[in-house]
């Protein structure tokens, strides 16, 4: 009996030892597997971070980058350099296209004798009156047409019809209606200005998301608050596009109008120079028109950048 008990005790001890040995072996195997897996996981995380960095670099590469200072002057200055180089090399006919220094000398002479000063001030006055009337009409009609169905029914179709008619083709009719003085010139400039302002402002108003309108209704905004907080911010980007086109259009219309029964102005000066074959005087007038157009467009861009400083765009 004693021998049997000893035998059973030995058997139990061996089984327990085997069990403990097996447990230790499994734990060691698991620890080894975890140690082998850790480097692979770190390598995978590193590869994923590198892929994210490459994607970020690719996304940043899609942007045109920071704007250059005075970048819009590069093109005009390059044209002037090419013009001067071709004139110095004798590649241009001086009778048709005088050299830049000849044009500058002619402009200085005209400014000295007072002729250019009077013509510039007269042209600026006509352009300013026509632009102010066109701006007021364009914004008023766009608001009336964009915010009410009655206004849209009465105004939009009429403006679209007016847009389809060549504005300069209205000159003979306006001369019969308003006379051949200054009034018809200002009226034509106003029409040239108001059409792009109306079209772009009306398109911006029509493009305002309807969810903003529903949100304004839920918040209980009044009509005035709705226009100030929703309509105006939503329409400003389109308005500034139309404003830039209107500013340019006022100068384009002025060139033609000042050649009809005018006694002063840049267009009149160019028309008289054509009769006497003075191409240098014509180029002086064209350069002044170009400078005025570039300056006015730059002024509108600066105002737009300040007013819409909250907007993040590709150009900014």
- What DSSP string describes 120-149? HHHHHHHHHHHHHHHHHHHHHHHHHHHH-H
Query: For residue 313, what pLDDT is reported?
Result: 72
Query: Do 212 and 159 form a contact (C-beta atoms < 8 A)?
Result: no
CA separation for the pair 254, 272 (Å, rounded): 16
Token representation of residue 216: 């304004």
Q: Any idea where the domains of the chain sit in the sequence?
A: 93-307
pLDDT > 70 in the chain, percent: 79
The pLDDT score that the predictor gives to residue 160 is 93
Following CA atoms 141, 142, 144, 146 in sequence, which dihedral angle do they give, to the nearest 10 degrees?
160
Contact 159, 141 (CB under 8 A): yes
Share of the chain above pLDDT 90, in %: 50
Q: Side-chain half-sphere of 150: how many Cα atoms within 13 Å?
A: 0
pLDDT given for residue 121 in this prediction:
94
Confirm if 248 and 66 have CB atoms less than 8 A apart: no
Q: And the tokens for 135?
A: 């701006």
pLDDT per residue as tens digits for the range 51-76: 666 665 555 566 777 777 777 888 88
DSSP state of 156: I
Q: How far apart are CA 55 and CA 51, in angstroms?
A: 6
Is residue 304 predicted with pLDDT exceeding 80? yes
Contacts of residue 292, defined as CB under 8 A and 6 or more positions apart, other chains included, come to: 124, 251
Q: Is pLDDT at 307 greater than 80 in this prediction?
A: yes
What is the rounded CA–CA span in Å between residue 193 and residue 191? 5
Cα–chain center distance at 48: 38
Average pLDDT over residues 11-39: 46
Residue 36's pLDDT is 47
| Residue 42 confidence (pLDDT) | 55
The predicted structure's pLDDT at residue 191? 95
* Residue 194: how many other CB atoms lie within 10 Å: 27
Average pLDDT over residues 223-236: 88
Q: pLDDT band at residue 35, thresholds of 50, 70 and 90?
A: very low
Tokens (6 digits) for 205: 């108003």
Q: Among 1.10.3720.10, 3.30.450.20, 1.10.10.60, 3.30.70.2190, name the CATH number for the domain at 93-307.
A: 1.10.3720.10
pLDDT band at 262, cuts 50/70/90? confident
Question: Residue 68 and residue 150: Cα distance in Å, rounded?
Answer: 47
Mean pLDDT of 114-138: 94
Quote the CA–CA distance of 139 and 128 in Å, as a whole number.
16
Phi-psi region of 274 (alpha: psi -120 to 50; beta: other; left: phi over 0): alpha
Are the CB atoms for 159 and 198 separated by under 8 Å? Answer: yes
Q: What pLDDT score does 53 carry?
A: 61
Q: Is the pLDDT of residue 28 over 80?
A: no
**For residue range 177-189, what is the model confidence (pLDDT) as tens digits?**
998 888 999 999 9
Confidence band (pLDDT; 50, 70, 90) for 209?
confident
Q: Looking at 6-69, which runs of residues are DSSP E strands?
A: none
Q: What are phi and psi of 313, to 5 degrees?
A: -125, 175
Which residues have C-beta within 8 Å of that of residue 158, sequence separation ≥ 6? none
Residue 298 Cα distances to 16, 65, 109, 182, 292, angstroms: 92, 20, 28, 28, 10
The alpha carbons of the chain give a radius of gyration, in whole angstroms, of 38
How far are the Cα atoms of 60, 179, 239 from residue 143, in angstroms, in the given order?
39, 32, 11
pLDDT at 23: 45
Give residues with Cβ within 8 angstroms of 154, minimum separation 6: 145
Model pLDDT, residue 210 = 86
Which H helix or E strand runs over 57? helix 2-61
């Amino acid at each position: 009996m004693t021998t049997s008990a000893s035998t059973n005790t030995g058997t139990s001890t061996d089984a327990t030892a085997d069990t403990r040995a097996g447990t230790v072996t499994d734990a060691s195997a698991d620890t080894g597997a975890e140690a082998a897996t850790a480097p692979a996981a770190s390598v995978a995380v590193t590869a994923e971070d590198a892929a994210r960095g490459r994607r970020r670099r690719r996304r940043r590469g899609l942007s045109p980058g920071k704007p250059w200072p005075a970048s819009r002057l590069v093109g005009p200055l390059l044209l002037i350099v090419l013009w001067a180089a071709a004139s110095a090399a004798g590649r241009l006919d001086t009778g048709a296209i005088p050299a830049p220094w000849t044009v500058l000398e002619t402009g200085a002479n005209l400014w000295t004798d007072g002729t250019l000063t009077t013509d510039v001030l007269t042209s600026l006055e006509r352009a300013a009156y026509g632009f102010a009337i066109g701006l007021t009409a364009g914004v008023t009609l766009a608001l009336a047409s964009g915010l009410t169905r009655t206004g849209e029914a009465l105004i939009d179709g009429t403006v679209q019809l007016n847009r389809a008619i060549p504005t300069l083709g209205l000159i003979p009719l306006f001369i019969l209606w308003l006379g051949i003085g200054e009034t018809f010139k200002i009226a034509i400039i106003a029409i040239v200005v108001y059409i792009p302002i109306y079209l772009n402002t009306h398109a911006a108003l029509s493009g305002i998301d309807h969810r903003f309108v529903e949100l304004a209704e839920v918040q209980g905004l009044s009509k005035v608050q709705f226009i100030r907080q929703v309509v105006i911010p939503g329409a400003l980007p389109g308005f500034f596009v139309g404003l830039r086109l209107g500013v340019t259009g006022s100068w384009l219309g002025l060139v033609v109008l000042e050649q009809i029964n005018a006694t002063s102005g840049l267009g009149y000066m160019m028309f008289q120079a054509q009769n006497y074959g003075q191409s240098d005087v014509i180029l002086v007038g064209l350069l002044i028109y170009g400078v005025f157009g570039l300056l006015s467009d730059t002024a509108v861009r600066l105002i737009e950048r300040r007013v819409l400083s909250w907007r993040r765009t590709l150009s900014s």
